[in-house]
Amino acid sequence: MANEVTVALVGATGAVGQEMLQILEERNFPVGELLCLADPSEAGSKLKFKGQTLTVGRADAQAFKRADLAFLAVGTEVSRSLAPLAIENDCVVIDNSYAFRLDDGVPLVVPEVNAGALTTHRGIIANPNCSTIIMVVAINPIHQAAGIKRVVVSTYQAVSGAGKAGLEELDQQVRNYLHNDPMTPQVFQHQIAFNLIPHIDDFVEGDYTREEMKMVWETRKIMELPDLKVAPTAVRVPVFRSHAESINIETEKPLGAAEARRILESAPGIRVLDDPAAKSYPMPWFTSNRDEVFVGRIRKDISIDNGLAMWVAADQIRKGAATNAIQIGEIIIQQNLY
């Protein structure tokens, strides 16, 4: 039986925070005391955890002093200010934002891929970008078997990537459509209902978005392949919670589709859904509210000698964010890394 720890959940009222609350309960995370923290404007609101009503408090030094472990499910700027405060108060931080992901000394961890990196932490562990988590869980077993040279990936990303407000905007816009009311984009750059937006996060370099470059930078760090070639295109689609990705992989060694399927079937965190005759393949409506990364349409890439194509989907809020962070927390506790 693991030690029970005092857990601070910062951003407890957001989409990822609320999911974390549920997953902490589902997985019977060894929570002694749970401090639900949020922006001062949300302090005082009530949340349910294991049948108890908890009052949301402020994320301040006092709170972090009481906590052993803090999950930050807040924006990058808020993480930048709160993480140092938590560390000063001897609280290990598992941060969901982009703030520290590429910093030296900050492990960027997907437990199925690089749990070993956790031992090197200096107080902050970064939870990777959602699309990156989903991709590396699916491609790492292929890399272990045949060595990956190049990845071409096109994403189909759910609106949950923009949090509760993103979920509400899609819902509102389909209502507007049915009532012939105008759709006014607020969260996304353009209307998202019945549309596709090839623009997630800001444009940063070479006309790639930061979301796309995260899939390059973070994949290299997690897989410890600093020269891995990744060609990403990130697209927002009118889907609620599950991201999907069309992935073409070029490998060093030949690896047949059947063998790849067998490898993926026994890989951690993956569920293979790949029976085309039975119309079985991963689809967002059905992979939502689940923790696994679903992989299907596994087939030879017919355009190169050593290549595979696959279609991957996973819940962006769960494995793409909350579940992965909590898995990290479980290892931190099991291995006494706090």
The single residue among 19, 42, 169, 301 that binds a copy of itself, judged by CB under 8 A, is 301
Strand (E) positions, 14-107? 31-38, 46-49, 52-55, 57-58, 69-72, 92-95
Which has the closest alpha carbon to 6: 88, 58, 69? 69
Distances (CA, A) of 71 to 20, 115, 265: 9, 17, 31
Residue 181 within binding range of a copy of itself, rule CB under 8 A: no
Side-chain half-sphere of 217: how many Cα atoms within 13 Å?
A: 18
**Residues in a beta bridge with 297:** none
* Shortest distance in whole angstroms from residue 263 CB to a copy of itself: 16
- Only segment of 38-46, 48-56, 111-119, 304-312 that touches a copy of itself (CB under 8 A): 304-312
Site size toward a copy of itself (CB under 8 A) is 59
Residue 208 within binding range of a copy of itself, rule CB under 8 A: yes
Residue 87 within binding range of a copy of itself, rule CB under 8 A: no
- Only segment of 11-19, 76-84, 128-136, 169-177 that touches a copy of itself (CB under 8 A): 169-177
Distances (CA, A) of 204 to 133, 208, 210: 21, 6, 6
The single residue among 71, 98, 217, 311 that binds a copy of itself, judged by CB under 8 A, is 311
Cβ count near 122 (within 10 Å) = 12
Decide if 243 is catalytic.
yes
* Shortest distance in whole angstroms from residue 133 CB to a copy of itself: 19
Residue 319 within binding range of a copy of itself, rule CB under 8 A: no
Site for a copy of itself in 226-265 (CB under 8 A): 229-231, 233, 235, 237-240, 244, 246, 248, 257
Decide if 179 is catalytic.
no
Residue 296 within binding range of a copy of itself, rule CB under 8 A: yes
Instruction: Confirm if 140 and 247 have CB atoms less than 8 A apart.
Output: no
Side-chain half-sphere of 13: how many Cα atoms within 13 Å?
A: 18
Catalytic residue ranges: 130, 243
